Structure 1
Amino acid sequence: MEIRELLAGAGCDGWLCVMEIDGDGEVHAGSDEPVVAASVFKVIVALEVFRQAAAGELDPRERVRARPGETTLGPTGMSVFADEAEVSVRDLVTMMLTISDNAATDLLVERVGLDRMAATLAELKLTGTAVPYSLGGLLDSIAVDTGLATWRELMAAHHPAGPPDEMLHASRALRPEHSIRTTAGDMARLLKLIWLDRAGPAEACANVRAVMGQQVTRHRLAMGFPDDVRVAAKSGGLFGVVRNEVGVIRFPDGRRYAAAVFTRAHRPRAGENAINAVIGTVAAAAVASLRR
């Protein structure tokens, strides 16, 4: 069955790119079409942090304060802390990539700069990817669409249930041209460069690989592969519509594959388990065709 037919059968549209890391083989479906990145863009943030650290421009042990009421909201990590916390830059990266902490992400974005991330994307020729604002900026854009100034105001106005789905699903944040965006091809190429030590200094690439290998969730790409296949990944999702995952799959024989799968549900918040599972299914099918 065609990859996009598999995705449609699970209740979503989808975009995929799988590349051999140590060869030229590639399987793709809509890999150059723009998609909402959601939290997979955090791989770019991590790479920029470690590139600047390798260049001596920042100290990964530098302490950063996260203050409740000032940090970016989100469902995990310091985003939900009740008290002030102080952690190192490198531990912020760990929080960002392992549990997708939004507060940690924006503290890092502020530290490294959107302009520097844009320059790195241009250097790596990832022309389909753009990070025009922080996660806080993305969330605030949703509030602006409703006539309010900030995401905090929007959340307070709809406390405790949160904004209604129809309000969220009508926002610009779910349209690639107005959101943090990428393509499946760009993300697979980025991972390939990181795993080949070509996305920056070898030390920086190794640090990104190490933290990606610690992601807590294992219910998307990893579900498509046996237990002896190692998967280092970063997932992302937005409002029950967008569900994505990018990662590198390493087989016991040493062969490695960079995979990027992006999905958009036909019905918001419906079929989450089926869509999560099909991400692993289509990645496994693509890898199997390359291995043949």
Structure 2
Amino acid sequence: MTDDDGTLAELFDRLGCEIALCVQALDGAAEFTLAADRQVTPGSTMKVQVALEAETWFAEGRLDPREQVALPAEGRTPGPVGLSLFADEATLSLRDMVTLMLTISDNPSTDALLRRVGTGAVNATAARLGLTGTVVTSDLATLVDAVARDLGRADWNDLDTWAATASAEDHARADALLVASPTLSPTTGTRTTPYDMARLLRLIWTDQAGPPEACARVRAVMARQLTRHRLAAGFRRPVAVAAKSGSLLGVVRNEIGVITHPDGRRYAAAVFTRSRPGADDAAVNAAIGTAAARAVAALRAAGA
């Protein structure tokens, strides 16, 4: 099943962005797709992969989930929430890092976990699970510094300092460079496809992605994500949504998650967007929920 009449593609085009999505019924083979094989920039949706890897290592005894790790203030991965905003050193357990990473998308926790398990292990798991279009190329600190260099600055801190006093015209020129950033290109940077992420969710929700306790933990924490203005905006209680959002610098706005209806039918949804300068953030966020709701409604109408 596809967006045959082009209504979803037209909706997002009017909002100044393109969309790619895959929504699958978990209890069958039915799916609704739109450019589902297109390579996209995942943003923080890749944190589900990191969480799965960490929780698998916990379950298999390769890491102690209760191990306390100190994260110094100096050199901490930047971000808009969580530990990125702390002025002092923070100490917390590895499993609590998973919680921060999936509930509020904490960047320092993500990079700390990646340092322990390694991007190689995350990519090896992706290959084992058949996620053929998915590659994590670096941690988040490396990514944001690379974006800053794409914009002509030394690193992220330099870009942040520049942005505080830059003129509107300078910001507009930076926005134009940002859209063409090689770091944010799905052909050279960290990448995935909607199909791969829907598959990953399917495998996690059916305990096939790793040890059952690891899958259960990822599901439980995703259900507590704070962000509710994308996929969840398209549904009303008692429909439940467990999700992970992902954004990058006003260019990338994504969300992946599983929608569970009261009748027990479940749907894995992966919606990815890429915006042109000036796109309305709130409108795109709401449209992600609209797209998922339309896809799920079409599948349910077909009996899936």
Confirm or deny a common fold (TM above 0.5). yes
| Residue in 2 that maps onto 1:291 | 300
Asked whether the equivalents of residues 16 and 278 of structure 2 are also in contact (C-alpha less than 8 Å), the reply is no
The share of aligned pairs that are identical, in percent, is 54
Matched, 1:224 2:234: yes
1:172 CA displacement: 1.6
> What is the CA–CA distance in structure 2 between the aligned matches of 1:57 and 1:127, rounded to whole Å?
26
| Residue in 2 that maps onto 1:234 | 244
1:159 CA displacement: 4.3
Task: Tell me: CA distance 1:160–1:195, structure 2 relative to 1, closer, same or farther (3 Å).
Answer: farther
Task: Tell me: CA distance 1:197–1:161, structure 2 relative to 1, closer, same or farther (3 Å).
Answer: farther
Q: How is 1:184-263 mapped onto 2 (pairs within 5 angstroms)? A: 184-263=194-273
The 3-state SS of whatever aligns with 2:28 is coil
> What is the CA–CA distance in structure 2 between the aligned matches of 1:6 and 1:17, rounded to whole Å?
17
The one-letter amino acid of 1:222's match is A
Cα displacement string for residues 45-72 of structure 1 (whole angstroms, at most 9, x for unaligned residues)? 0000001111110011111111112211
Given the alignment, which residue of 110, 134, 138 partners 1:129?
A: 134
Given the alignment, which residue of 274, 278, 282 partners 2:291?
A: 282
Cα displacement string for residues 218-245 of structure 1 (whole angstroms, at most 9, x for unaligned residues)? 0011111122100000111111111100
Cα displacement string for residues 83-123 of structure 1 (whole angstroms, at most 9, x for unaligned residues)? 11100011111111111111111011111111110110110
Matched, 1:270 2:275: no
* Root-mean-square deviation (Å): 1.7
| Residue in 1 that maps onto 2:33 | 28
Task: Tell me: CA distance 1:269–1:110, structure 2 relative to 1, closer, same or farther (3 Å).
Answer: farther
**5+ unaligned residues in a row in structure 1: which ranges?**
none
> What is the CA–CA distance in structure 2 between the aligned matches of 1:22 and 1:182, rounded to whole Å?
23
Matched, 1:168 2:205: no
The one-letter amino acid of 1:285's match is R
Matched, 1:101 2:106: yes
The one-letter amino acid of 2:37's match is D
| Residue in 2 that maps onto 1:84 | 89
Task: Tell me: CA distance 1:288–1:137, structure 2 relative to 1, closer, same or farther (3 Å).
Answer: same
Task: Tell me: CA distance 1:228–1:82, structure 2 relative to 1, closer, same or farther (3 Å).
Answer: same
Cα displacement string for residues 201-223 of structure 1 (whole angstroms, at most 9, x for unaligned residues)? 10000000010000001001111
Asked whether the equivalents of residues 239 and 269 of structure 1 are also in contact (C-alpha less than 8 Å), the reply is no
1:17 CA displacement: 0.1
Matched, 1:111 2:116: yes
1:6 CA displacement: 2.6
1:143 CA displacement: 3.0
| Residue in 1 that maps onto 2:9 | 4
Task: Tell me: CA distance 1:158–1:225, structure 2 relative to 1, closer, same or farther (3 Å).
Answer: closer
The 3-state SS of whatever aligns with 1:287 is helix
> What is the CA–CA distance in structure 1 between the aligned matches of 2:98 and 2:80, rounded to whole Å?
17
| TM-score under structure 2 length normalisation | 0.91
Q: Which moved more, 1:148-157 or 1:201-210?
A: 148-157
| Residue in 1 that maps onto 2:48 | 43
> What is the CA–CA distance in structure 1 between the aligned matches of 2:218 and 2:70, rounded to whole Å?
23
> What is the CA–CA distance in structure 1 between the aligned matches of 2:133 and 2:154, rounded to whole Å?
29
Asked whether the equivalents of residues 6 and 282 of structure 1 are also in contact (C-alpha less than 8 Å), the reply is no
Asked whether the equivalents of residues 241 and 269 of structure 1 are also in contact (C-alpha less than 8 Å), the reply is no
**5+ unaligned residues in a row in structure 2: which ranges?**
none
> What is the CA–CA distance in structure 1 between the aligned matches of 2:64 and 2:278, rounded to whole Å?
41
The 3-state SS of whatever aligns with 1:36 is coil
1:144 CA displacement: 3.1
> What is the CA–CA distance in structure 2 between the aligned matches of 1:218 and 1:185, rounded to whole Å?
22
1:160 CA displacement: 5.9
> What is the CA–CA distance in structure 2 between the aligned matches of 1:144 and 1:71, rounded to whole Å?
18
| Residue in 2 that maps onto 1:61 | 66
Cα displacement string for residues 158-201 of structure 1 (whole angstroms, at most 9, x for unaligned residues)? 44669933343342222112221110000000000000000001
| TM-score under structure 1 length normalisation | 0.95
> What is the CA–CA distance in structure 2 between the aligned matches of 1:104 and 1:94, rounded to whole Å?
9
1:269 CA displacement: 4.3
